[in-house]
Amino acid sequence: MPSAIVLINAEIGSEEEVFEEVSKIPEVSQAYIVYGVYDIIAKVDAKSMEELKEIIAAKIRKLPKVRSTLTMIVVEGREYRKG
């Protein structure tokens, strides 16, 4: 199952609003508001690489108040989960 970590920059003052909208996307399995260069980190899981690209392009990047994103595709089979 293809996954990606998406780092999101939101317009100043809209971090909570963007976080709420990102969290509503069914394919987002985890989301965090963070301090630093980026405002939100989201983990996206999809059934195919094509679906993953579509989720990021159409559902995340086009959200109002998203300024920019940086996407890191997870290498399949190289994911570790503790516990």
What pTM does this model have?
Answer: 0.93
For residue 61, the tally of other CB atoms under 10 A from its CB is 14
pLDDT one digit per residue (tens) for the chain, 83 residues: 899 999 999 999 999 999 999 999 999 999 999 999 999 999 999 999 999 999 999 999 999 999 999 999 999 888 787 88
How many domains are contained in the chain? 1
Look up residue 52 and give its amino acid: L
pLDDT at position 81 is: 78
Q: Does the residue 83 lie in any domain?
A: no
3-state secondary structure of 78: coil
Look up residue 63 and give its amino acid: L
pLDDT at position 60 is: 98
Q: What is the CATH number of the domain that holds 16?
A: 3.30.70.920
If we measure between CA atoms, which residue out of 25, 33, 28, 12 comes closest to residue 63? 25
For residue 17, give its domain range: 3-73
Q: Measured on CA atoms in the order 54, 56, 60, 62, is the torsion positive or negative?
A: negative
pLDDT at position 78 is: 83
If we measure between CA atoms, which residue out of 75, 55, 60, 72 comes closest to residue 10? 60
